[in-house]
Chain A
Amino acid sequence: MSPFLAFFRMWRVWFIQGNQDIRLRYKRSILGPFWISASLASLIIGLAFLYSEIFQQDVRSYAVFLAGGLIAWNFINATIAEGATMVIDYASDMRGARMPLSVLAGRVAYRNMTILGHNMVVGIATVYLCGFTLTPRFFLIIPGLIVLWVFAMAAGIALAPICARYRDLPEIVRNFLQLMFFLTPIFWLPSQAGRRTLFVEGNPFNALIDLVRAPLINSDYSNGFVTTLSITMAVTIALAIFSYLSTRRKLYNWL
Chain B
Amino acid sequence: MVHIHADNINYSYPIFDKRRSIKVSVMKTMVGGNIRQKNGKTVVQAVRDVSFDLAPGDRFGLLGHNGSGKTTMLRLLAGLILPDTGKLDVQGRIVSLITRGTGINEDLTGADNIELPLRILGATDAEVARAKVEIPEFIQLGDFMQLPVRTYSEGMKARLTFGICTFLRGDIILLDEWLSTGDKDFIAKANARMDEIVSETGIMVIATHSTGLVRNVCNKVALMEGGEIKMIGTPDEVLAVYEDPYA
Contacts and interface: CB of A to CB of B under 8 A. Distances in A.
A96 B99 CA distance: 5
Given A96-B98, A98-B79, A253 B116 contact: no
A20 B100 CA distance: 20
B212 interface: no
A98 B82 contact: no
Nearest to A28: B107
A92 B105 contact: no
A162 B101 CA distance: 27
B192 interface: no
B116 A17 contact: yes
Interface in B89-104: 96, 98-103
Contacts of B121: 97
A93 B96 CA distance: 13
B14 interface: yes
A10 B79 contact: no
A137 interface: no
Range of interface residues on A (Cβ < 8 Å): 20 to 34
A20 B82 contact: no
Interface string B69-110: 000000100111110100000000000101111110101100
Classify the secondary structure of A's interface with B: helix
Given A27-B107, A248-B82, A253-B14, A97 B116 contact: no
Contacts of A10: 119
Contacts of A146: none
B178 interface: no
Contacts of B98: 96
A12 B78 CA distance: 20
B108 A98 contact: no
Interface of B: 13-14, 75, 78-82, 84, 96, 98-103, 105, 107-108, 115-116, 119-121
21 contacts: A12-B119, A13-B119, A13-B120, A20-B105, A20-B108, A24-B105, A24-B108, A95-B99, A96-B99, A96-B101, A96-B102, A97-B80, A97-B96, A97-B99, A97-B103, A97-B121, A98-B78, A98-B80, A98-B96, A249-B84, A252-B80
Interface of A: 10, 12-13, 16-17, 20, 24, 27, 92-93, 95-99, 248-250, 252-253
